């Protein structure tokens, strides 16, 4: 019997399906987040599951969960920074997450971004919608992906899918990672960070964010990149220095960018605005550039991902309750 906090209508579909397919289980949902005010709802359940951006940092939450006999917090997300692991250890609990809910979702979004930028759909759509201009001017002439070099920083679950896809389209793929996986050499050539940055026609980021990696792409890298290169960031906002990116775009040091994530994205994601002047100032600048596209942290947002968030987290719940090792144990 599991209590799923932070339930959304699109996830509820898959929670209902789980209940139907597993009559021995009982997934109960609430839209509430897990905190000291709502923890008492978990009394009588075997496990809790959450998918929230708010930190669970009150000791009372862990103390009460433990007193109810709950030993596992099943996150329906990749990120686990919302959990306080001092309290998890103190109350002898474990945390599981869903790191592989769909690497292909983000990889396909990256492919979409690359083709959108490369085929200049930003300026084409801008001409059409803003100016009713259907002229095929020379600046709209584009390149073809099979003779481009794609540079991938971080060749993990998502990065290796990205490599496979661009390799299949005939592009040359360069990759940089702290750990080189020989299996990926079928699709890419591993090299150092600077070589990837300098040679990429499309530079795409797929690393996690550690404090030391903030501003990984900033003024120095923009100056080293090809003037014709595009940057794609669907990893984490602070990997890119936003002001340096704006300067690089204004100075034509790079040709364009696709940003699914950006520092300060909390100010816009899941919100609606009436006028561009309501946006944070850096978004206002970028929104005026036809060679820039941003999406609301939606690279992962596919039916498969949402389904797998439920299925992977609940599979690990069952494994733990049956005395097996979970597939996705978070070890901190």
Write out the residues near ligand NAD by the rule CB under 6 A: 78, 99, 103, 106, 153-159, 176-179, 206-209, 213, 234-236, 260-261, 297, 299-300
Which position has the token pair 């030993």? Answer: 71
CB atoms within 10 A of CB 43: 13
Question: Minimal distance in Å, beta carbon 66 to ligand NAD?
Answer: 29
Cβ-contact 110, 159 below 8 angstroms:
no
Residue nearest to ligand NAD (CB): 156
Question: Minimal distance in Å, beta carbon 229 to ligand NAD?
Answer: 18
The span from the CA of 207 to the CA of 202, in Å, is: 16
**Nearest CB to ligand NAD, comparing residues 151 and 154:** 154
**Nearest CB to ligand NAD, comparing residues 120 and 297:** 297
The span from the CA of 268 to the CA of 294, in Å, is: 11
CA nearest to 3, candidates 33, 44, 46, 48 = 48
**Nearest CB to ligand NAD, comparing residues 34 and 205:** 205
The span from the CA of 302 to the CA of 133, in Å, is: 34
**Nearest CB to ligand NAD, comparing residues 163 and 249:** 163
The span from the CA of 58 to the CA of 154, in Å, is: 34
Question: Minimal distance in Å, beta carbon 117 to ligand NAD?
Answer: 17
Question: Minimal distance in Å, beta carbon 286 to ligand NAD?
Answer: 17
Residues with a known catalytic role: 236, 265, 297
The region, left, alpha or beta by phi > 0 then psi within -120 to 50, assigned to residue 199 is: alpha
The span from the CA of 209 to the CA of 269, in Å, is: 19
**Nearest CB to ligand NAD, comparing residues 231 and 234:** 234
CA nearest to 100, candidates 247, 318, 311, 332 = 311
H helix intervals, 176-268:
193-199, 219-224, 242-250
Question: Minimal distance in Å, beta carbon 111 to ligand NAD?
Answer: 14
The span from the CA of 207 to the CA of 178, in Å, is: 10
Cα 187 to the center of its chain, rounded Å: 22
**Nearest CB to ligand NAD, comparing residues 207 and 315:** 207
- Encoded tokens for 105: 């979702």
The span from the CA of 289 to the CA of 123, in Å, is: 9
Question: Minimal distance in Å, beta carbon 80 to ligand NAD?
Answer: 11
């Amino acid at each position: 019997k599991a209590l799923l906090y932070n339930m959304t209508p699109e996830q509820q579909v898959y929670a209902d399906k789980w209940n139907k397919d597993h009559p021995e289980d009982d997934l109960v949902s609430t839209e509430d987040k897990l905190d000291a005010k709502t923890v008492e709802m978990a009394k009588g359940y075997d496990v809790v599951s959450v998918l929230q951006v708010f930190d669970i940092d009150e000791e009372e939450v862990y103390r009460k969960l433990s007193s109810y006999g709950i030993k596992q917090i099943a996150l329906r997300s990749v990120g686990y920074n919302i959990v306080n692991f001092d309290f998890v250890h103190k109350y002898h609990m474990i945390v599981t997450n869903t790191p592989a809910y769909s690497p292909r979702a983000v990889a396909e979004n990256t492919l979409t971004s690359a083709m959108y930028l490369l085929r200049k759909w930003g300026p084409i759509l801008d001409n059409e919608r803003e100016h009713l201009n259907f002229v095929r001017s020379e600046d709209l002439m584009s390149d073809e992906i099979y003779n481009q070099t794609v540079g991938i920083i971080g060749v993990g679950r998502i990065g290796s899918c990205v490599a496979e896809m661009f390799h299949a389209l005939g592009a040359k793929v360069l990759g940089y990672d702290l750990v080189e996986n020989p299996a990926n050499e079928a699709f890419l050539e591993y090299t150092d960070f600077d070589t990837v940055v300098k040679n990429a026609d499309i530079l795409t980021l797929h690393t996690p964010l550690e404090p030391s990696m903030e501003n990984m792409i900033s003024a120095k890298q923009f100056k080293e990149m090809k003037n014709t290169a595009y940057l794609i960031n669907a990893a984490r906002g602070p990997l890119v220095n936003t002001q340096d990116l704006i300067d690089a775009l204004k100075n034509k040091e790079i040709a364009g960018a696709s940003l699914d994530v950006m520092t300060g994205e909390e100010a816009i994601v899941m919100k609606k605005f009436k006028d561009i002047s309501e946006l944070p100032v850096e978004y206002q600048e970028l929104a005026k550039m036809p060679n820039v596209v941003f999406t609301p942290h939606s690279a992962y947002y596919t039916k498969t991902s949402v389904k797998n968030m439920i299925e992977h987290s609940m599979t690990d719940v069952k494994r733990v309750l049956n005395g097996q090792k979970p597939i996705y144990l978070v070890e901190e």
